[in-house]
Chains A and B, each alone.
Chain A
Amino acid sequence: MTAVYLNGELCELPAAATLEQAVREAGAPEGGRGVAVALDGEVVPRGDWAATPLREGQHVEVLQAVQGG
């Protein structure tokens, strides 16, 4: 298992989990439309999610547009 902080909550993902799995786990809309991801504070483009492995203790933020401003 790999434990990461997913939107602030400690989350157990399978070993060798990728960022794509974390995005799905966070409950993002199918296909990730309107979603963006930061891994340890750095933006990871959508096209790289599937090829980005997660390491223990990393911080994953999965964001979308909401009402505001």
Chain B
Amino acid sequence: MSLELAGRSFDSRLILGSGGFRNLEVMAEAVEASGAELATVAMRRVDPSAPGSILEVLEAAGCELLPNTAGCFTARDAVTTARLAREALGTDWVKLEVIGDDRTLLPDPAELLDAVETLVADGFTVLPYTSDDPVLARRLEDAGCVAVMPLGSPIGSGMGINNLYNLRLIVEAARVPVILDAGIGTASDATLAMEMGCDGVLLASAVSRAEDPAAMARAMRLAVEAGYQARRAGRIPKRLLAQASSPEEGVPELT
């Protein structure tokens, strides 16, 4: 089953952030290994000395671009950055980030919602990076976001999912896809997100800063797939005591 986002269909439920890779070659290998069909990019000042073109590398890997508004602390800056990305890249999709604190990089909920309203009215397809607040997730959905992307833990922290309870509430209430965005440290974090009922996972640092990014990208691909399949398969309930799996009848008397 594919991931449906804003009327588009994606075979992969893993979205890869392109930040943090040592160079474009390492990124290309990791993108390939991840199977991702969407990759985020940031908008920054032109640097004539920068080697290679990230656009060509991602296009060659069959990845579509999902520009972000990383580095924006106000709705106004985020809206302008989204419009610049639309102009530069020809896409109205945006991973909307409006940061409220430079130490934790947690979102600023008021500015985020403000930016969403402006961008939705302007025809953007908005995928907001949000805190793990179920009420904010609902507000973002009501404002017209095509997905909600709650953090598991702070960006780049690798702490995994800090608040399973909130994530569960978000997943249970959402009528748009829920994509866990930020905090993933290793494969089991991504699997847990999918087992919790998330529709996808977005991660960057866990792969790009791993010792072997391509190998970790492959691990994440399998982890997301495993979690998705396990969720659909229906896990057994947890029990306090054992329940034998071998027959209790027909046990011989051997003494």
8 Å CB interface, B34-68 against A: 40-48, 50, 53-55, 65-68
Docked CA distance A62–B43 (Å): 10
Asked whether B70 lies within 8 Å of A69 as measured between CB atoms, the reply is yes
8 Å CB interface, A26-49 against B: 26-29, 33-38, 41-43, 45-46
Asked whether A69 lies within 8 Å of B204 as measured between CB atoms, the reply is yes
Given contacts A34-B55, A45-B87, contact A66 B95 (CB under 8 A): no
Query: Which residues of B lie under 8 Å from residue A35 when comparing CB positions?
Result: 46, 88
**A65 interfacial by beta-carbon distance below 8 Å:** yes
Q: Chain A: how many interface residues by the 8 Å CB criterion? A: 26
Q: Chain B: how many interface residues by the 8 Å CB criterion? A: 36
A-B contact count, CB below 8 Å? Answer: 97
CB nearest to A67 among chain B residues: B18
Q: Which of A45, A46, A66 contacts B43 (CB 8 A)?
A: A66
Asked whether A66 lies within 8 Å of B44 as measured between CB atoms, the reply is yes
Docked CA distance A36–B43 (Å): 9
A: residues with CB less than 8 A from B are 7-8, 26-29, 33-38, 41-43, 45-46, 61-69
Interface string of B9-24 (1 = CB under 8 A from A): 0000000011111001
Interface string of B82-97 (1 = CB under 8 A from A): 0111111100000101
Which 9 A-B pairs give the minimum distances between C-beta atoms? A68-B42, A27-B48, A69-B40, A36-B88, A69-B68, A36-B87, A36-B84, A65-B41, A68-B19
Asked whether B87 lies within 8 Å of A64 as measured between CB atoms, the reply is no
Given contacts A34-B53, A36-B84, contact A65 B89 (CB under 8 A): yes
Asked whether B80 lies within 8 Å of A69 as measured between CB atoms, the reply is no
Query: Which residues of B lie under 8 Å from residue A69 when comparing CB positions?
Result: 17-19, 40-42, 66, 68, 70, 95, 97, 204
